Structure 1
Amino acid sequence: MANRQLRGSGEARKPTMRWIKNPAWDLVWVLNALWLAPLVLLLAWGHDDVRASPVDGLFFAFAVPLWFGHRVASAWLAYATPAYRPLLTTQRLRFVVAPLTIAVACFALLLAPERVLPIPVTERVVWLAVLDYLLVSHHFAAQHFGLLSLYRSRAGRASDAVTRRLDRWFALVVGGGLVVLADALAGSIAFQDRWVEPLLGVGWSDLFARILHDGGIAFVIILTGLMLYVELRSQRASLPRVAYVLSVSSMVLFAFLARDPFLFIVLWSVQHWSAAMGLTSLAASGKAQAPGTPWQQLLAPINRRGWAVLLVLAVISTLLLPVLEVEAVTDEYAYADRIFGEAARWLRSSPYVPALLALGFATGFIHYLLDRAVFRFSSPDVRQAARGLIE
């Protein structure tokens, strides 16, 4: 009897292998930091300027199909799939009213003449960019929490309140706060001289900066160790969760230790974009439901196939590149020129720049909202719509 109990306890603690789809898919779309990190280091080896190294070519290859495809991915689920159609009625505030309000507000703020809004347009852009940085930092952390929760659910521990709380703190502190700290130490926060340095003081002493740097690294290691300890001692330990914790930690350590912030940006961005695109393809194609509107009937052959959803989003991403890069990056970091040439350069200096800036901010803010809405699995309606992903 005792032996059977011991065997049962051992079996209960045997790590589970509940992937989102399968090991290969997860490694490509969600856990790719585990292999991207050494690849980036290898490609940067021997290059003083990493922007002139093969890392830049790698980032270009990922950014073109993923960057703005991921930005519209949640909108695709919300407005182009039959499974989410009922939510446009039952959760109209989240899916209809709020996005329209955000769009109107962004265009009004940036297109209003100075006699109506007596603030220079450049100042409006600065503070919208600051707001965007704060929101996107939380957005990345929220995605990490969501993926940890998804893996926890896959392991049969969806109701484990203690682990859920630990997941949230790990995502917010390691995947959010410590990344902001690393960005600040590297001087890579948007308009840092306008708002971060006045808050903290321009003249950070080398000693204080070193304390923050080393303390940040220590925090990452300690919290990662705590997460792994709790996970491996769980009755239903999940190896995919262990892998995801290690992937997040490795990226954040890159933020503190990489000799150029660009190396971290490559890892952090590609993992985020690819996870969003991959999850969207599963949610869109995983649940059979008869399309209702003519628009959805037209898109039904795409939504039934995950690869087709990914292909369409990649094409949209490529086409949006010259338009949305106007807001997203400065001229020296633009990639659209390599594909669209003079047309992309003209857009960045055209009379339409204020409208393009408004479009960029609006699509970004709406993306943060809709990402939360379409993957808000605490809602029974959302769980029903996303059954292809969570079942």
Structure 2
Amino acid sequence: METPRSPLIGVYVHIPYCRTICPYCDFVKRPIKGTVPPAFLNALCSEIDAFDGASEVDGVFFGGGTPSLIAVDDFARVMDALRARFSLTPDAEVTLEANPDDVTPELMNAWTASGVNRISMGVQSFNDEALRYLGRRHDADGARRACGLVAERLPNWNMDLIFGVPPLEEWRATLETCRSFQPAHVSAYGLTYEAGTPFGKRANEAIDDETYLNQFHEVDAVLDEYERYEVSNLARPGFQCALNLRYWHNEEYAGFGPAAYSYLSGVRSRNCVKTDEYIAAPGSKQESIRLSEREVRVETLIQHFRLKRGLEKAYYEARFGASLDSDFGPVLQGLVARGLLLEAEGFIRPTPKGFELNNEIGLALVG
């Protein structure tokens, strides 16, 4: 049985700076010409040092923004701050998101020397026309060069890809190139046209549902050596993303940096969003909400049902002291009847249709 309630926590560090702003991105970020400013690094290390809570960590994830913009010495300083405040387990996974145009042999050596043992590469496509559409700085040759460098040095690395991008007929070629580099993990997301982004004004360009599902399934057809263990994530055995599994198990994590979320002791909080405000008051919160026991249970189901493995009934009972059937029996049976969930061998898990329409599961549980 899956063990509930690990005493460990995960850590997310948000670096909000980018050389250019991708028109589809709705994460908190700001443009920068040079390296990450000292004032931000001082604030970040101050927030880490002031953290009051669990001290043992099994996963660290540097996201953004573009964490690979941090100067080598500054990155080592942040890692030192984390080690001074937390005890990293011997097998802790330390992930750094990187853009292909930032990756060099020298930086790879410096990152790994500082403790990075996993790179998440923002490739998105191996087609130049698609990359121009997405507003990316690198081209297909640059992506191939960077992937080759990472593949030579790290067995554990992720490739980020985006589908639903013109020219649509090139998606399979991108997947085949991805397969040739043999990453341990692949994240494949459908392009979204989010309000508040430049692409938000171009929502009429979004692909239709049938095309979306065709490209979604093409991922599995080409990357057939991988397991789609989560709606948008595939991995080779033993290479599922440690911090993301914490999110999907609804377990605890601490977030540092502007707009970073934390989930600790039943409280979900978010740091202030504006970078200047964060620098002036590191760790100040924009919101902090204590979830009710019912909300924690609902979110645990929603997150587990993003996973192919689903939710083990015995795990739920051990974690919450109540049976899954008594808490959610009617709504779960309704989802089974709709073909979105399947009950078997002590588990309730999403069906292939439930993966395709995963939001429908969440809406039913919240409702």
Interval of TM-score (by shorter of Structure 1 and Structure 2): under 0.3
Higher helix fraction (1 or 2): 1
**TM-score, normalised with respect to structure 1:** 0.24
**TM-score, normalised with respect to structure 2:** 0.25
Higher RCO, Cα 8 Å, sep 6+: 1
Higher strand fraction (1 or 2): 2
